């Protein structure tokens, strides 16, 4: 694909994507699947049997497991060979993250170490810093953590009060401050710490070692979920940080934090898939064992509905996640081909796709929450027992809507950034908004649906996008630059964007898969698309109405509502039979095999 053919972040709103241009999970190669298998083999042998011990914080267990993962090369998947890693592609790291996502508290420790723990040094460190720290982190000889959040600075990270002052001899920064909710804090050897130098307005970043005098770690937090994940406060009391351990440039810390979070958001979108699939397996296997009223509960329509919805949630999210991940990878490769340093290319590509990164973090975490909730419901009373496997899945899922920026922040980030970029006119969104607004008076009552399965869905999704343009255009006309302050409207727009991106990704995946394997191979997947699109049409209509009714009054409402209705029309679907077909395959296989 040529550089000018690759959609940049947010451009899915205005440009059509061809099925041949998207990556789908069925295209992972043998080496990538072998790495995934290595992850699962490690988890099955060393991690799954130790969940109880992990949750009880058995001393040294998680750090030891990270060491074993390092011996297998699983901590260095994204690390260049010169620093002891495997230097695999972005997509490969995402697939490995999916597998590791099934490991509950250990997954959190792993993803923290290879992500926000290692990547700031790998991507922003100088050669001396990278040579000193990265090989030991990639080998699992040392563990890493990331210290950003403070008691009064959570979502507003730059409000942190931690401070660094240059010593009189100019050799050290004297670091003072308090950090909280630090993952891996209890056993990490290396911390990336964010603080302001002197009276700077913007954060800087520092590499700090645990053994340095003045660094103190609190007792482990007692948490609702991810109980085995080490979460502590870290205190810095006149810690002498060598000046050579300033990471990046002075005042670059906030940029480092945000750019690393972009990567963390899309990677969280991968890790939740592992937990989704593991929970689905528990759900269907229990439903195939539990009898009520003389029948297995898997025979009942109410249970089939839940199982089918679990399948739909994971398959649509997976379609969107790997579509975006491949786009990020292609852009990385293009930047590198243009002469950009690989680390900078990774950072820039993820920043360019910040809208998709934020959307997928929301979609994935909320899909997982649905799946684990229904998993508990399928188990019934047993699901509320700590003896059942869905107990841990339910508790551990909840943090994902807070991790990597709350879902509220991510909705704002996705919706607001898409609008601001569009108003600059760079991607054609501004023009599309104007055209949709002008078309309202001439719209027919109902659209004429296109002939052909994929032509129909392209048309439907195109109209969904026009519905988004309508709300964006109307809201921007009302509020202009003050639209960013109308968070409820931004949420409506973001939710429309998320569901449209997932639907389009699902349609493109099925179309491409049919071209690869034939029509018979995608019959059930069409049920997924039919049900999902039918359902979200109502959702999108409501989001649009909620937004418009919040600022439009009088006669204008009639035209707007006419447009909303037109842009969200879809054909009727027999959702009951479609869901039953999806559930029956899951029940017959007794595991997720889609």
Question: Packing angle between helix 487-517 and helix 523-549, nearest 10 degrees?
Answer: 160
Q: Is 591 helix (H, G, I), strand (E, B) or coil?
A: coil
Residue for token pair 């058995």: 58
* Alpha-carbon separation of residue 406 from 103, 146, 261, 366, 410 (angstroms): 22, 17, 11, 11, 6
CA quadruple 412, 414, 417, 421: dihedral positive or negative? negative
DSSP state of 49: G
Q: Is 163 helix (H, G, I), strand (E, B) or coil?
A: strand
Catalytic residue (choose from 318, 404, 499, 504): 404
Task: Report the distance separating Cα 35 and Cα 505, nearest Å.
Answer: 25
- Told to judge if 220 belongs to the known catalytic residues of this protein, a careful annotator would answer no
3, 193, 275, 459, 523 from 375: Cα distances, Å: 43, 38, 12, 35, 26
Cα(first)–Cα(last) distance of the chain, in Å? 28
Q: Do 323 and 508 meet the contact criterion of CB atoms below 8 Å apart?
A: yes
Q: Which is nearest to 406 in space by CA: 494, 486, 475, 480?
A: 494
Cβ(343)–Cβ(122) below 8 Å: yes
Residues 54, 105: contact at Cβ < 8 Å? yes
Counting beta carbons within 10 angstroms of the beta carbon of residue 163, is it exposed (0 to 12), middle (13 to 18) or buried (19 or more)? middle
Please compute Rg for the chain using Cα positions: 25
Length of the chain: 594
Name the DSSP letter for residue 158.
Answer: G
Could you give the residue numbers annotated as active site? 404
């Amino acid at each position: 694909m040529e550089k000018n053919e690759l959609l940049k972040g947010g451009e899915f709103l205005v440009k059509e994507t061809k099925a041949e241009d998207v990556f789908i999970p069925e295209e992972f190669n043998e080496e990538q699947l072998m790495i995934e298998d290595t992850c699962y083999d490690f988890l099955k042998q060393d991690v799954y049997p130790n969940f109880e011990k992990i949750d009880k914080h058995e001393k040294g267990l998680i750090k030891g497991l990270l060491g074993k993962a390092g011996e297998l090369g699983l901590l260095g998947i994204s690390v260049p060979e010169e620093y002891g890693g495997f230097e695999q592609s972005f997509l490969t790291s995402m697939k490995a993250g999916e597998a590791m996502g099934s490991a509950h508290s250990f997954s959190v420790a792993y993803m923290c170490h290879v992500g926000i723990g290692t990547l700031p040094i790998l991507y922003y460190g100088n050669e001396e810093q990278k040579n000193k720290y990265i090989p030991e982190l990639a080998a699992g000889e040392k563990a890493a953590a990331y210290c950003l959040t403070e008691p009064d600075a959570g979502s507003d990270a730059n409000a942190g009060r931690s401070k660094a002052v240059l010593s009189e001899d100019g050799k050290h920064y004297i670091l003072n401050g308090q950090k909280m909710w630090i993952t891996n804090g209890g056993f990490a050897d290396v911390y990336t710490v964010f603080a302001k130098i002197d009276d700077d307005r913007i954060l800087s970043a520092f590499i700090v070692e645990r053994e340095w005098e003045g660094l103190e770690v609190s007792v482990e937090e007692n948490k609702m979920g991810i109980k085995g994940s080490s979460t502590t406060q870290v205190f810095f009391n006149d810690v002498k940080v060598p000046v050579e351990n300033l990471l990046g440039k002075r005042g670059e810390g906030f940029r480092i934090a945000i750019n690393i979070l972009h990567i963390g958001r899309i990677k969280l979108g991968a890790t939740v898939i592992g937990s989704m699939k593991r929970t689905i397996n528990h759900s269907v296997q229990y439903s195939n064992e539990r009898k009520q009223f003389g029948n297995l509960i898997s025979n009942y329509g109410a249970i089939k509905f839940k199982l089918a919805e679990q399948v739909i949630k994971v398959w649509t999210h997976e379609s969107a996640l790997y579509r975006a991940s491949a786009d990020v990878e292609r852009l990385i490769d293009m930047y590198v081909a243009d002469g950009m340093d690989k680390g900078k290319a990774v950072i820039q590509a993820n920043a360019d796709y910040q809208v998709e990164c934020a959307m997928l973090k929301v979609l994935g975490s909320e899909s997982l929450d649905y799946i684990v909730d229904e998993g508990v419901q399928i188990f019934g009373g047993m699901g509320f027992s700590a003896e059942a496997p869905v107990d841990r899945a339910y508790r551990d899922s909840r943090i994902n809507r807070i991790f990597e920026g709350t879902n509220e922040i991510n909705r704002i980030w996705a919706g607001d950034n898409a609008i601001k970029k569009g108003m600059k006119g760079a991607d054609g969104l501004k023009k599309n908004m104007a055209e949709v607004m002008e078309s309202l008076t001439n719209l027919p009552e109902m659209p004429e649906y296109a002939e052909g399965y994929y032509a129909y869905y392209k048309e439907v999704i195109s109209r969904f996008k026009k519905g988004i343009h309508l709300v964006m255009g109307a809201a921007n006309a009302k509020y202009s630059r003050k639209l960013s302050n109308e968070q409820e409207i931004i949420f409506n727009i973001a939710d429309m964007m998320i569901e449209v991106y997932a639907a389009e990704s699902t349609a493109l995946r099925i179309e491409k898969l049919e071209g690869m394997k034939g029509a018979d191979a995608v019959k059930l997947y069409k049920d997924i698309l039919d049900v999902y699109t039918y359902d979200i049409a109502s959702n999108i209509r409501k989001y649009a109405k909620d937004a418009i009714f919040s600022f439009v009054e009088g006669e204008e409402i009639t035209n707007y509502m006419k447009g909303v209705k037109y842009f969200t029309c879809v054909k009727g679907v027999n959702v009951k039979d479609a869901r039953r077909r999806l559930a029956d395959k899951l029940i017959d296989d007794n595991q997720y095999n889609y």
